[in-house]
Structure 1
Amino acid sequence: MKIESMITVLRRLVYFGALFLAIMGILMILIKSDMGHVPQALKLFLLGFVFFLGGMLVILIAKRGLGG
C-alpha cells in the first residue's frame, strides 16, 4: 500500500470519526435528558474515541501538514 493511499484512508477515518462523534454527542444529550445521567461505559468509550481520533489527526497533520 502506498503512503498516499494510507493517508487518504486515515483522512477518511478521521472525518467519519468526527461525524460519528457528533452523532454520539447528540445521543448523549438525549440519554441524559431521558435517564437523568449518562452511563459510565458510554462516557469512557467516547473519551477513548476522542483520544484515538486526536492521535490519528496528529499523525495526519504530521504527514501532510495542515493543508490536508
Structure 2
Amino acid sequence: MTDYEKERLLFEKYLEEFREKYPQPELTLTSRGNPDPRLVELVRLLARKAAREYLESEKKARSADSSKPM
C-alpha cells in the first residue's frame, strides 16, 4: 500500500467519525440567490469595522507624516 493510499484511508476514517459525531451541519448553505440573512449582516458588520480601522490607521499615518520635520 502506498503512502497516498494510507493517507486516503486515514482521511476517510476521520471523515466517517466526523460525520457520525456531527450528522447535521449547523449552517445550511443556500443557492447564490438566497443567502442566509445572518451571514449577510455579519459580513456587512465586519466590512464596516475593517473600513473604520483602515481609515483610522490612514489618518494616524498621515498625521505622523505631516508632523515630521523635513
TM-score range for the pair, normalised by the shorter chain length: 0.3 to 0.5
TM-score, normalized by length of structure 2? 0.44
Where relative contact order (Cα < 8 A, 6+ residues apart) is larger, the structure is 1
Structure number with greater Rg is: 2
Q: Which has the higher helix share?
A: 1
